[in-house]
Chain A
């Protein structure tokens, strides 16, 4: 047992982002376990090193990028040894020794010493005026030089070198970038994109000397120029070496820890001495070293987990992407894009427009991406790359990106670099680019979820997610969303939707508390995200057996009407196939008059919406509508909504089949069914497609010889045409396939995942096989749907209007007269 009064001692060497992120994560998990002390060589609190470039460019100040103030260390009872350098680790006595000869004992040691800039071994490298680009001191040096001198040379045409050059140029210096190879950023870019980048940087005023190898740095008491191996010289008052970084492993090496390029660590971030952990740029994990922030954060999480003695997490390496933080240049790169015999490439190049996209595939999967000029789809490609999605089905459209281009709400913008600070990015919540950038800097945000929580940007409809990710990447220099491959349902659990669905079936779990107990939910009764999901999964898995939990349903599904901004509701009666009658219309008019319903509106799904109904009036409104033969239209449901139709062969001179009749038949069969997200159908009587079938979840196009069935379309947040599933000769066959398809979606879809996203995830071929090719399976799916319908096809309005179900819901509990 641990004695509370004598805590274990954790010593952290390195006061940088990796070390402190680990400490933060540790404090979240086990706040009282350790007595923590941190040694940092720099005289600052922890700061955001990736934002040094904007500081250099004069877009931010040093204060802007401090992540943890001294107060933070004090608040968390962390002893900060600022400016004290650890010179030795005594593993025998478990102590660290500082420059001053002080010894501090540890029970656990965390090495987070980061990396050092590589200094080229050329004559003159030690002259005053020759620096690296690594810390605040270097930036201060450069800023000062820019006020006194004119000529700067940056050696290194990689990410860091270009950002340094851009910053110095913005500070008024004349800058020459020297690069050993003939492609800029060759680790991230291919020659074409590298050339485009060079051209646009030249237009901004940078000069390049490449390929060129530095031979000598010239100068007597201060640098005065650079000479190259070809004999040419360039004058310089400041030389910045940005040729790369080298893991800082001196200390670890001296202590006898196994090191190669970096300190070698296991999947639990432990070195060969189990008491000693290491994270960040100083480590080597599975032969890889990392110089970007996202992997450090992944490592920090795993390391903190172990330090907190919850040792189950492992670090499996990271896939990283890169952005260049130079204002006005859009560039995105991720993965492996070196040509190879087993790789295929898809390239789009439009030099005049300044757009270049290259996608590298191996084995039907994206393994690398280089984007220049138009990077809106960077995160989308990156997601597919990390997920290892089979992209063969979307191959022909792949290079054009996701449906983002068709998305509305952000003025058709698809490049954030050119956007001004007051440009609106999130049209739902009115969030501008400037506000997002400010929140990222001021509130020290790193992930998409952070940004959503703090600014609300992309937290409603999500169509601007790509843009917000870009702002994030642009501000921070990489993709920090780093969403884990398997997304948990919500913060209440680590389990994914698939896990939950599988376990419900395997373990025969039949209530929400059972699922939560069995799957170790972290909260006592979930949250507004997971409870409705679990309720749906149980309902879809155990039809007739599971009792629907009303308190786990969103209000609209609980009261069978749509809540409006003022707390009133809207009521939409079903109109089968969009067909109505004079008596129904009269009844609707009467209801609107009787209950003073302020707005009557025709919907996009071919029915009529009564808006502004008071909650307590709902049962009476429903009773009157029921009286005229109308039932709930489920316009509020994650379930079957409408079947839109055109008039078809009954009236239309072009109609090939009775599309209205088929639509009604489908709607009568499928109404009342619950699905992962809403399902909208349409039936068009000919290929003129007046019912707009090709942007629905399921759409039928009648042709002379039968019925084409299309599915997985969308016309909301995303615009997506449907996929052609199959063609049938008869109505009955069409119905069977549509029902089987919907049932498969009900069984596989994640809660709130629309059909087109489900199709994207599980693959068209897979669905086609189960619904079209395998007839036995299709019939079984159909039967399961039909079975569950006997429990769901009763009008919820009638139950409430006539039989008093949920009466409490619609009346106040009490009315107090007194003030």
Chain B
């Protein structure tokens, strides 16, 4: 079983925004969409390791602040024609609380 970690109330993340969760393996960016879905990705763009948590969130995507790579929140995949993939992690909301697993989702 994948252990889940409680990381805080959903309202701590702005709509169409992101917060960082520090882990021993590096920062994980937790995103919140307009429709209150949450997603978690390594806070590193596959392009030049830009911090995705600092990007603009739109739909179910985030744009890296360094060079405008657009990354799918659900899979970590760069949107074509850009190429690359960022590791993603399971995340969920229960009773207004965000939970995160550190078990990497299998790379697509």
Contact = CB atoms under 8 A, between A and B. Distances in A.
Nearest to B80: A453
Interface string B4-41: 01111000111111011111110100100010000000
B7 to A, nearest CB: 4
A614 to B, nearest CB: 12
B51 interface: yes
A528 B61 CA distance: 10
Nearest to B24: A819
A528 B81 contact: no
Interface string B84-107: 000000000000001010100000
A812 B54 contact: no
Given A527-B63, A563-B66, A565-B66, A814 B21 contact: yes
Contacts of A200: none
Contacts of B20: 812-813
Given A453-B81, A817-B24, A531 B56 contact: yes
B65 A812 contact: no
B56 A554 contact: yes
B65 A815 contact: no
Given A527-B63, A815-B21, A808 B68 contact: no
A551 B30 contact: no
Given A528-B58, A567-B54, A813-B12, A818 B21 contact: no
B4 to A, nearest CB: 11
B3 to A, nearest CB: 8
User: Which of B6, B13, B49, B51 lies at the interface centre, i.e. has the most chain A CB atoms within 10 A of its CB?
Assistant: B51
A527 B58 contact: yes
Interface in A764-819: 808, 812-819
Interface string B40-62: 00000000111100111111010
B22 A812 contact: yes
Interface in A552-588: 552, 554-555, 559, 563, 565, 567
Contacts of B100: 816
A815 B22 contact: yes
A453 B80 CA distance: 8
Contacts, number: 100
Given A812-B20, A813-B20, A551 B56 contact: yes
A231 interface: no
Contacts of B13: 813
Contacts of A552: 16, 56
A492 to B, nearest CB: 9
A469 to B, nearest CB: 19
Contacts of B14: 550-551, 808
Contact of A555 (B12, B15, B22, B55): B55
Contacts of B8: 813-814
A567 B51 contact: yes
A816 B22 contact: yes
B17 A816 contact: no
A523 interface: yes
Interface string A526-547: 1110011000000000000000
A546 to B, nearest CB: 17
Contacts of A523: 58-59
Contact of B102 (A813, A815, A816): A816
A558 B49 CA distance: 20
A818 B51 CA distance: 22
Contacts of B23: 815-816, 819
A61 interface: no
A53 B63 CA distance: 41
B81 A454 contact: yes
A224 B51 CA distance: 71
A528 B21 contact: no
Contacts of A526: 58
Contact of B50 (A525, A567, A817): A567
B19 A528 contact: no
B21 A813 contact: yes
B16 A525 contact: yes
A528 B24 contact: no
A551 B65 CA distance: 13
B80 to A, nearest CB: 8
A339 interface: no
Contacts of B61: 527
A532 B59 CA distance: 15
Nearest to B82: A453
Contacts of A555: 54-56, 65
Interface in A501-526: 523-526
A555 B50 CA distance: 12
B54 to A, nearest CB: 4
Contacts of B70: 527-528
B98 to A, nearest CB: 8
Contact of B7 (A532, A554, A813): A813
A525 B59 contact: yes
Nearest to A553: B56
Contacts of A551: 14-17, 56-57
A816 B56 contact: no
A526 B22 CA distance: 29
B39 to A, nearest CB: 14
A816 B12 contact: no
Contacts of B63: 527-528
B24 to A, nearest CB: 5
Contact of A812 (B3, B17, B21, B48): B21
B29 to A, nearest CB: 10
A819 B28 CA distance: 13
Nearest to A564: B66
A334 B77 CA distance: 42
Contacts of A453: 81-82
Interface string A689-729: 00000000000000000000000000000000000000000
Contacts of A550: 14, 17
Contacts of A524: 34, 59
Most chain B CB neighbours (cut-off 10 Å) among A524, A532, A812, A814: A814
A814 B22 contact: yes
A813 B98 CA distance: 10
B19 A819 contact: no
Which of A460, A550, A555 has the most chain B CB atoms closer than 10 A to its own CB?
A: A555
Contacts of A554: 56, 65
A670 to B, nearest CB: 27
A129 B7 CA distance: 79
Nearest to B7: A814
Nearest to B35: A524
Nearest to B22: A815
A443 B81 CA distance: 10
A524 B16 CA distance: 11
Contacts of B55: 528, 555
Nearest to B68: A528
Given A528-B68, A813-B30, A818-B5, A563 B21 contact: no
Contacts of A567: 49-51, 54
Contacts of B102: 816, 818-819
Contacts of B27: 812
Nearest to B50: A567
A525 to B, nearest CB: 5
Contacts of A528: 55-56, 58, 63, 68, 70
A565 B22 contact: no
Across the A-B interface, give the 7 residue pairs with the lowest CB-CB distance, nearest first.
A813-B19, A528-B63, A814-B7, A815-B22, A528-B56, A555-B54, A567-B51
5 contacts: A454-B81, A525-B34, A552-B56, A555-B65, A814-B22
Given A443-B81, A565-B48, 10 more contacts: A453-B82, A555-B56, A567-B50, A567-B51, A567-B54, A812-B22, A815-B21, A817-B24, A818-B3, A819-B25
